[in-house]
Amino acid sequence: MARPVLELRHVSKRYAGTAAVADVSFCVESGQILALLGPSGCGKTTTLRMIAGFVEPDQGTIEIGGRDMRNVRPHERSVGLVFQDYALFPHLSVAQNVAYGLRQRGDAKSTIARRVKEMLALVHLDSFGDRRPSGLSGGQQQRVALARAMAITPEVMLLDEPLSALDAKLRQELRFELKQILQAAHCTSLIVTHDQEEAMSLADEIIVMNHGRILQQGNAAAIYHAPRTRTVAEFIGRTNWFQGNLGPPVTALLREFVTTEGRFVVAADAAIDGAIAQFCVRPERLRIVAADEPVGEGLNVMLGTLVSAAYLGSEIHHVVRLSSGRTIICAEQNLDQALPAAGTLLRVVFRPGDCILTA
């Protein structure tokens, strides 16, 4: 079996007695894009800085290409770095920026010229070599920074919030382009981000971190549809939570769940068998129907009153007050349908399989 390109084993780092990173272990395979996702202060940037060599771990081992990085200085590590502010040299042209690492390494002029040309073509900036960074848009500067980092053919690419300096529209446009570039160059990459959409759209695998620890690792679908904890569920998407008591089995695959909103049927989870539990339903899994509209067998139904409905681009968000007094959010695709009036009595319907049980 091939050795991972990057591997961390039981890595920890403390600052003033507080654990910034606590016993973190993971690996990144050749050509894989892995994202460290979590809120500010969760330890993801400290982890990246330890891999880059800017911070020394207190415990654990970091290996790149099978080589132990202990006592290996940052410039001696085979890593490419892309910072959130790009860190381009303003006095150098685009081509000179891309060539910088190659020159530092002492490559021949002909090799440098050929590699710069390849990199600018890869990031679609072939005709921009003579320009200065100040004459480029934010998205173009990001691509120059990426080309510079990839020019030295590093074993691992490290990207620290690579799109955070861009406006929302440009960020969305560049996600797909960034992934295409990394895949085309077969870059083994680690991306640090607090943006769930960025992680889900860019990465083959996601690690969700909080308080210096790994909460869950998996692909985007697994983490979104089967989060292990409430923290993961809330960080990776929108949720409506219901707390109550697990009741007896309804079938081999279904359990009764009793809350203040009523009795529901949820998909059974063998790992959760306590009397007190909670489940969530994503807003897009809830369906709004008229109070007198018939619904199919085996569905969960809640009675409520519409508080408000709003167009939000491709979705319509309904805020519904349930008979218990609490409010929930339901999301449906925007198909130019008429919005019900506030105060309308309605029912909220969802399937047992749409319930995500957590302890």
Q: What is the dihedral of CA 210, 65, 52, 44, to 10 degrees?
A: -10
The CATH fold of domain 6-234: Rossmann fold (3.40.50)
Which alpha helices (DSSP H) does 226-338 contain, by range? 230-235
Give me 346's structure tokens. Answer: 């309605």
CATH class of domain segment(s) 240-358: mainly beta
Rounded to whole angstroms, the Cα distance separating 206 from 211 reads: 17
Overall residue count recorded for the chain in this entry: 359
DSSP 92-107: S-HHHHHHHHHHHHT-
Model confidence at 297: pLDDT above 90 = no
Q: How confident is the model at residue 17 (pLDDT cuts 50, 70, 90)?
A: confident
DSSP classification of residue 72: -
Distance of CA 32 to the CA centre of its chain: 15
Task: State the pLDDT at residue 277.
Answer: 81
Rounded to whole angstroms, the Cα distance separating 327 from 314 reads: 22
In this structure, is the dihedral angle defined by the CA atoms of residues 198, 200, 205 and 209, taken in order, positive or negative? positive
Q: What is the dihedral of CA 310, 311, 313, 316, to 10 degrees?
A: 70
Kindly report the backbone phi and psi dihedral angles of residue 133, in degrees, each rounded to the nearest multiple of 5, phi listed first: -55, -35
Q: How many CB atoms lie within 10 A of CB 67?
A: 12
Q: How confident is the model at residue 274 (pLDDT cuts 50, 70, 90)?
A: low
* pLDDT, average across residues 262-276: 78
Q: In what order do the strands lie in the sheet with 240-249?
A: 262-267, 254-259, 240-249, 276-281, 356-358
Q: Domain-by-domain residue ranges, the chain? A: 6-234, 240-358
Model confidence at 225: pLDDT above 80 = yes
pLDDT digits (tens, 9 = 90+) for 70-107: 999 999 999 999 988 888 999 999 999 999 999 998 99
CB 53 within 8 A of CB 72: yes
Strand partners, 301: 349
